Structure 1
Amino acid sequence: MDTMQDMTAPERNGAPTPAGWERATLEKLAFAALNEQRAARRWKVALRLLWLALLAAVVWLVYRDVAPATAASTPHTALIEVRGEISSESEASAQSLVASLRSAFEDPGAQAVVLLINSPGGSPVQAGIVNDEILRLKALHNKPVYAVVEETCASAAYYIAVAADNIYVDKASLVGSIGVLMDGFGFTELMQKVGVERRLLTAGENKGFLDPFSAMSEAQRAHAQGMLDDIHQQFIATVQKGRGERLQPTPETFSGLVWSGQRAVALGLADDLGSLDQVARDVVKAEDIVDYTQRENVAQRLARRFGAGVGESAMRVLRSGALDLR
């Protein structure tokens, strides 16, 4: 009896039997695993919601400021800024400038369009698109266009400026650079000295003729120079058409040199000295200036630079399954 009492005493005192201890341990493990699964699920849901919120915030910020300028009810001067490099990836892209131009020309209150230019140039293709659109819109809406140069109006920027009816500069502005360039580096001799072999496979004997690690033949050099000459002649023809009889060319006019604003007026590359306010007041006769320039805000720049990666990650999250809110 004493032995039986000793064996059953733990049960009477509430301590688990060997079988009860195993069951309790299994229950603890099961609850721990369940809690871990719930925590992982909550983190997964939170991460998905965070990505969705981030995507929504970026979309809202991007499209918040893209609405065109509201048509003014009173006469005004329409302003469009051409700043920085002219390229498809910059704010001074053809797409952005053309959209700004159309908004300005279509506003009945705009008495004239003024291009405020401060650019070293860029893509001749982008500049050509803008030049063509200015000429088309001028003829369609019968509104004058004036270019006002601040610091610099060179190369592709001048390509755009010659579409204007008149070009105004500061006496110290830099104007011109009517030329075309193609730059790069050649490392063939350096590679030979350090014992590096270039292994470039092409289909077509001239496919890699601009490769900086391969030698350029005279025929290839002549071909590249021919392309530059063609584009240069297009540039010259555009300048001659835009400036007409006002242009006083010299042997150096189309050599790629730049001139001060004062000298540019003497050469017929520009018409007179003037600032934005002065042109709006004395030429357009509408001192009120309304800016139609389409600009990227911070969110748009982030979206352009990182949007592809964010969008891909967000879509991956969305494709991973429906949101689980349990």
Structure 2
Amino acid sequence: MSVTDKLASRIPGLADRVDRSDVVAVVKLHGVLTPSPSPLARGAINLAAVESALTRAFDHDRLKAVALLINSPGGAPTQSGLVAERIRQLADRKGVPVLAFAEDVAASGGYWLACAADEIFAHRTSMVGSIGVISGGFGFSGLLERFGVERRLHTAGANKSRLDPFSPEKPEDVEWLGKMHSQLHELFVSWVRERRGDRLSGSEDLFSGDVWLGQKALELGLVDGIGNLREVLEDRYPGAEISIAEPKRPLLAKLGLSAPAAASAMLDAVSQRAVWSRFGL
């Protein structure tokens, strides 16, 4: 029971004047999925950052539903799984439906999050899907040779230095990475099939890593409808109070600072920007 409800129950006549409308809680999940968010980046999603917002959202006494407002190009698969599992845990405990709304993009890990919902909606211009796995990096071995720098790397364990960016790439390392990608892809596909079930079409391209606009995503069964948060909630829950819960923001974002605090923070921001840029955003 909320503080307002407790007061209302104790003061005669007040209960009749207190707003008893239903509540739909909205959680904003905006940014790249990463375990270590940058203070300069364009938002980040991980379990530590969204836990308090999710808990608040599901804690309303008159809760009718929880809406996830998703704008994410993906990122770390583990954080995708952890956040999605927490959403399902809270939803099952509370016994309320969860609706997901894709904004600009709900792709890769962003779509993994959307699948935690019972229903998914997209705008006709939203980019949805990208059910696949990707990783990238740089190779600096030639750069070291050019400047006469000798790389000294000492390990115990034959595979400890796999994919070291300062050493020449080895075919066996690439093969190992490919197997890891395949295993993660299988887990992603399994999660989507579990959550979407027979709503999915039989298209061969469904799990190719491709991305589609809202209407095509609807035809493929990746989403359940075309619409935005306000219109869908007003239709489903007329008169309900909309309560927005936002995850914690990095300190520099709260202060409105845009200058780099450190070189590492700037690199993190550039890395996350590159993830957005794959979708032209």
* TM-score normalised per structure 2: 0.77
Q: Does 1:212 align with 2:178?
A: no
In structure 1, the partner of 2:179 is 226
| 13, 19, 24: which one aligns with 1:77 | 24
Q: How does 1:1-326 map to 2 (within 5 A)?
A: 73-90=20-37, 91-192=44-145, 195-296=148-249, 298=251
- The CA distance in 1 between the partners of 2:31 and 2:90, in whole Å, is 24
Mark the CA change 1:301 to 1:230 in structure 2 (over 3 Å): closer, same or farther. Answer: farther
In the alignment, is the contact (CA less than 8 A) between 1:85 and 1:121 conserved in 2? yes
Structure with the greater alpha carbon radius of gyration: 1
The answer as to whether partners of 1:162 and 1:242 remain within 8 angstroms in 2 is yes
Amino acid at match of 1:100: A
**Closer/same/farther in 2, CA of residues 288 and 170 from structure 1, 3 Å limit:** same
Q: Deviations over 1:35-71 (max 9, x none)?
A: xxxxxxxxxxxxxxxxxxxxxxxxxxxxxxxxx9999
**In the aligned structure 2, how far is the partner of 1:108 from the partner of 1:85?**
31
SS in 2 for 1:224: helix
Summarize deviations over 1:227-256 as a string: whole Å, max 9, x none: 111111111101111111001142221111
In 2: Cα distance, 1:300 partner to 1:188 partner: 36
Question: Secondary structure at the residue paired with 2:101?
Answer: strand
Compared with structure 1, are the counterparts of its residues 198 and 297 closer, same or farther at alpha carbon in structure 2 (3 Å cutoff)?
closer
In 2, Cα distance between the equivalents of 1:95 and 1:286?
Answer: 33
Decide whether the 8 Å contact of 2:23 with 2:60 is kept in 1: no
Cα distance change on mapping 1:206 and 1:261 into 2, 3 Å: same
Letter in 1 for 2:105: T
2:63 and 2:155 mapped to 1: Cα distance? 55
- CA distance in structure 1 between the aligned counterparts of 2:29 and 2:174, rounded to whole angstroms: 34
One-letter amino acid matched to 2:34: S
Aligned residues: 237
Q: 1:200 to 1:70 in 2, by over 3 A?
A: farther
- CA RMSD after TM alignment: 2.5
Q: For residues 188 and 298 of structure 1, what CA distance do their matches in structure 2 show?
A: 37
SS of the counterpart of 2:48?
Answer: helix
Gaps of 5+ in 1: 1-67, 307-326
Distance in 2 (alpha carbons) for counterparts of 1:75 and 1:159: 28
- Give secondary structure in 1 for the equivalent of 2:25: strand
Higher strand fraction (1 or 2): 2
Percent of aligned positions that are identical: 37
Q: Secondary structure at the match of 2:33?
A: coil
2:264 aligns to what?
Answer: none
TM-score, normalised with respect to structure 1: 0.67
The whole-number CA distance in structure 2 between the counterparts of 1:176 and 1:187 is 33
- Stretches of structure 2 that go unaligned for 5 or more consecutive residues are 6-18, 38-43, 262-281
